[in-house]
Amino acid sequence: MPRNREELEKIERQVLAPFAQFSEETRGRDHAEAPPELRTQYQRDRDRVIHSRAFRRLEYKTQVFLNGTGDHLRTRLTHTMEVAAISRNIASALRLNTDLAETIALAHDLGHSPFGHKGETVLANLMKGHGGFEHNQHSLRIVEFLEQKYPNFSGLNLSWEVREGLAKHFTAYDHPGKRKGFDAKNSSLEAQIANLADEITYYGHDLDDGLDSGLLTEKELAKNVRVWAHADKLVRQEYGKLPDESRRYIIIRTIIDMQIKDVVENSERLIAKAGVKSADEVRLCAKPLVQHTPARNKLNMELRKYLYKNLYYNPVVHEPNLRAVKMLRELFHFYFKHPKEIGQSSRRRLKQVGLHRTVCDYIAGMTDRYVMQEYQRIFGKSFSVT
């Protein structure tokens, strides 16, 4: 006989820590549904995220380099999958709910606009005085309203705990707004893990893309970034001389492994010190319990500053992004003046949410390449990513 939901929930009780978020203790969904038969509630949520249109669009959205710049450079989708993998690893090590941590990680970037954070900044400026735009809040808007797959409700009707993780998600990039209904001081440990895994992922893998593109060099990293120099030394001691691609991969893997070990060991200490006995007690804590050590935070800040100076604001990355977001502004103003040019499903929301929000939703949902196609169709001008 196959294992059913009740058996899976029983296994959670046997293997997870008491402060984990148990599937059977979910606060539920906005719209009542019969519980899944062969999955837990969070496994159902994970599947709904993966099968959403917004998730598929992440394949053609910018991470650092504009989509189409290189076949091996990361997109928003590959970044998301890497965050999900690291989230599961940390959650498993701390005996937490891996399904919930993975689901939050898979959904955390659904609300990203085209062209990454620069695209987000443009939409935020265009929406001043009209509700603003912030990608974490837009992720919630997608899963609660914009996805239209089910006959009895809008959105994906995800569990409260997944939506809590999205409402409280932030990294060094992000400036989340407040969201009514998620007023606890903190989120679940699983949500805190997805948040930190995002940071671990983009530090490590932006290094990889920067090296692959030639904008960063191992020599300069070894001179200026202590986490790289330390990992490089360990790899050379263990493996000796390696081919370039293999050496870079092992160094970055070592950096990520050190990050994860630091998070797991430090978080275990913080959780024990806090004495929490349930997921709701975790939510009452004034500060997150999933954290790097202060020493690791200092090293990460050094790496972050180096990446900003030498990668994110490198003209090769920065200038195409600035040209790309100029298209967003022009498209926004065009659709505002010509709302009939907006997709039919989006036009149905005009009376409900108004013209500004309808245009914003429509553009935020676009992939990088669709923006370029629309720009050429409307203005007769092509755009090159290089």
Q: Where are the alpha helices (DSSP H) in 94-188?
A: 98-107, 116-126, 135-141, 160-167
- What CA–CA distance (Å, rounded) separates 352 from 50? 28
Report DSSP state, residue 338. Answer: -
Query: Can you give the pLDDT at residue 269?
Result: 98
Alpha-carbon distance 349 to 371, whole Å? Answer: 21
Angle at CA of residue 216, ends 236 and 111, nearest 5°:
110
Task: Please count the residues of the chain.
Answer: 386
CB 111 within 8 A of CB 144: no
CA 325, 53, 24 angle in degrees (round to 5)? 120
Cβ count within 10 A of residue 273: 9
pLDDT at 332: 96
All residue ranges of the chain with pLDDT < 70 are 62-74, 169-183, 383-386
pLDDT at 174: 45
Task: Please name the residue that has the structure tokens 């959205």.
Answer: 61
Nearest to 218 by CA among 252, 241, 256: 252
62 bridge partner residues: 75
Query: Buried b vs exposed e over 39-59: b needs ≥16 C-beta within 10 Å?
Result: bbbbbbbbebbeebebbebbe
Angle (nearest 5°) at CA 146 between 144 and 152: 65
- Domain covering 5-22+38-317: architecture: Orthogonal Bundle (1.10)
Q: Which residues pair with 75 in a beta bridge?
A: 62
Residues 145-193 have pLDDT tens digits of 999 989 989 999 999 999 999 987 654 444 444 555 666 789 999 999 9
Q: Which two tokens stand for residue 293?
A: 């050590």
pLDDT for the residue numbered 203: 87
DSSP 58: G
Check if the beta carbon of residue 155 is closer than 8 Å to that of residue 145: yes
CA distance 28 to 36: 12
Q: What is the DSSP letter of 313?
A: T
Rounded distance, CA 228 to CA 251, Å? 7
pLDDT at 68: 52
143-149 LR contacts (CB < 8 Å, sep 24+): 143/49, 143/52, 143/107, 143/110, 144/30, 146/54, 146/361, 146/365, 147/52, 147/53, 147/54, 148/345, 149/52
At a CB cut-off of 8 Å and minimum separation 6, what does 174 contact?
134, 135, 136
pLDDT value, residue 386: 52
